[in-house]
Amino acid sequence: MRSKRAKVRAGVSMAATLPMLAGALALGIPAAHAADTPGRETLAGTKPAWATAKADKGATADASQVTARVYLAGRDASGLAAYAKAVSDPNSAAYGTYLSAKQAQARFGATKAQVAAVKSWLRSAGLKVTGVTQHYVSVTGDVAAAEKAFGTQLHNYAKGSKTYRAPAKAASAPDSLNGAVLTVTGLDNAPHKANHADQLPAPGAVFKNSGPFSSYYGSNIATTLPDAYGGKIPYAIQGYTGKQLRAAYGAGSYTGKGVRVAITDAYASPTIAFDAATYANKHGDAGWSTGQLHQVLPKKYTHTGADECDASGWYGEETLDVEAVHAVAPAADVTYVGAASCLDDDLLDSLSKIVDKHLADIVSNSWGDIEANQTPDLAAAYDQVFQLGAVEGIGFYFSSGDNGDEVANTGTKQVDTPANSAWVTAVGGTSLAVGKGDKYLWETGWGTEKATLSADGKSWTNFPGAFTSGAGGGTSKTVAEPFYQKGVVPNALATANNAAGNRVVPDIAAIADPNTGFKVGQTQTFPDGSQQYSEYRIGGTSLASPVIAAVQALAQQARGGKPIGFANPTIYAKYGSKAYHDVTDNPTGSGLAVARVDFANSFDASEGLLTSVRTLGADSSLKAVKGYDDVTGVGTPAGGYVESFRRR
């Protein structure tokens, strides 16, 4: 399961090898230059791609209201990018020379004079300053004031079947601010989201898996069901537990002791402490110690409705992330940072809290959107936070997506974001086979094809069936190839969308296939209205991301607690070594599939059962092959991975 932001975005991210020049050059688009109005500096990327002349429906009424954020570039934007690269590169003399949060702010944050100048400019245009943080100045006001401040008219544009507001040309800021503004967000309002009640809804409707199951791969063969790939196949895993995952990914005696892991999602499950404790007790994980699980939550929540962000749908995301991290790294300190909504501004605030207070060294993020919905202004804001994290020794891990190449989902081959950022570790997914005695058997790239049982029960209809889901991956259309991928990522992948080379996703991978997934325990709402703890199997790269974050916690413990920081340069430096399982789609050479039986109503057998066969290792147009690939990256952690971080 992978939660999606409701906020529609479009965008370009920043390459690791390029400096951030007021949010422009670093985004792979022209550097800030003189705007149409003399004395102003263009904030590149602030006009969305969908705001075309053909879609223009005329000027927005002057009295309409605008809420925006003006992000601050800081005192040394290009220096921030350069230092973030240096401290993350094992070949750099500055490798591991991290700054404290206070030092990072003092060296790269905006000065008081810059903030004062930005506020004065905005107020002089007639906008009201509603908030100031280390990262941005928020404002409200009417369209006329916004147009005056940002040097562009705001028009209404058709986007699909709806109409939204957007700048008629890129916004700009006065030259007199001397590059203090990174970008501005909120000038477009696609889609509009109204505030909602402060209270979170009750837990979502119950979901349960039917049996039969396998307790480990191959433990229960479906002898009464039709053959697939020349023989009988096993039933799907009931759900791996921490003991099995720790064995598969080489945890050894490491537990993550002394390491801080943060998790970001939207909202907060009201039963997370109870659910996590109950789950650990039922499955032999170490109990949670007092103060080991923390929550950092906003004062209120917004956009909670099912037709907006579906707040209760995020409870399972948090539950999965918290329980998966603890299962693999049972002694790690876990801090959950919940966003006020699924919108970018609120998710950015959650990430910023972690950086501003250095709440953790490792951050797992099981959320995202398609690259086509990313806007350059937000990409710049995200990347600035990731860079600040890098200079502090904080690494961000993002799930790569659950729709393969996204063609079946969107009609267009593309990657997901923020996983496409050159400043984060994108985590792909696999189907994992753990055998008897917790022995690692093999992995395939996660990609599922599904065929149903025929009416007479003697064959699979249209075997192997249609693609249903798979690990996200591929080549970015907007982010330049980062230095750490050069020489590792095959040229055919890097140049798929740009002869000069672009970012390829993912970087590393772990278990994601729901058919070989992880068991979680969560309080859910049952048909009779009661709320009860129950368990089910789950997957998606939303599982892979916290698993890799937990493995990184083990690796950090192995190196004496020294933070790994932004891990990609180190991850790629280990490419081709015994630190990784080199994952391919058909490791046995005979084709792989599992049988799965589901409740028709997702709860019990009262409305019947659905039987299907799920082929493994069939991820849309993406292929897991020997070496680096766009399903599993450099591979998955092997027995030597955690130990490879030991300081010698």
Q: Quick: pLDDT tens for 16-55.
A: 222 233 333 333 333 343 445 679 999 988 998 889 999 9
Domain of 51 in residue numbering reads as 3-185
Q: How far apart are CA 184 and CA 347, in angstroms?
A: 16
Check residue 88 and report its DSSP letter: H
Is the residue at 45 inside a domain? yes
Domain count, the chain: 1
Is the residue at 352 inside a domain? no
Q: CA 610 → CA 358, 414, 546, 624, 643, distances in Å?
A: 48, 32, 30, 29, 44
In this prediction, residues 496-515 reach a mean pLDDT of 97
**Are 209 and 516 spatial neighbours (Cβ–Cβ below 8 Å)?**
no
Q: Over the stretch 524-581, which tens digit does the pLDDT of each residue have?
A: 999 999 999 999 999 999 999 999 999 999 999 999 999 999 999 999 999 999 999 9
Is the residue at 341 inside a domain? no
What's the whole-model pTM score?
A: 0.92
| pLDDT of amino acid 14 | 25
Is the residue at 452 inside a domain? no
Q: Over the stretch 206-231, which tens digit does the pLDDT of each residue have?
A: 899 999 999 999 999 999 999 999 99
State both tokens at 629.
């690939």
Q: How far apart are CA 178 and CA 500, in angstroms?
A: 31
Beta strands in 494-646 (DSSP E): 502-505, 508-511, 518-525, 531-538, 580-581, 593-599, 609-615, 636-637
Is the residue at 278 inside a domain? no
Q: How far apart are CA 280 and CA 182, in angstroms?
A: 45
Is the residue at 171 inside a domain? yes
Nearest to 432 by CA among 213, 243, 249: 249
Is the residue at 161 inside a domain? yes
Q: Looking at the predicted structure, is the pLDDT value of residue 336 above 70?
A: yes
For residue 328, the surrounding DSSP H or E stretch is helix 315-328
State both tokens at 575.
């490419």
Q: Over the stretch 118-173, which tens digit does the pLDDT of each residue have?
A: 999 999 999 999 999 999 999 999 999 999 999 999 999 998 889 999 999 999 99
Which is it for strands 154-159 and 56-59: parallel, antiparallel or unpaired? antiparallel
Q: Looking at the predicted structure, is the pLDDT value of residue 15 above 70?
A: no
| Residues contacting 472, CB < 8 A, separation 6+ | 399, 400, 401, 402, 403, 404, 405, 406, 415, 416, 419, 428, 505, 506, 541
Q: Looking at the predicted structure, is the pLDDT value of residue 609 above 70?
A: yes
Helix (H, G, I), strand (E, B) or coil at 275: helix
Is the residue at 121 inside a domain? yes
Give me the amino acid identity at 235. Answer: Y
Nearest to 18 by CA among 7, 8, 29, 34: 29
* Lookup result for tokens 């895993």: 237
Looking at every residue in the chain, the average pLDDT score rounds to 91
Q: Looking at the predicted structure, is the pLDDT value of residue 296 above 50?
A: yes
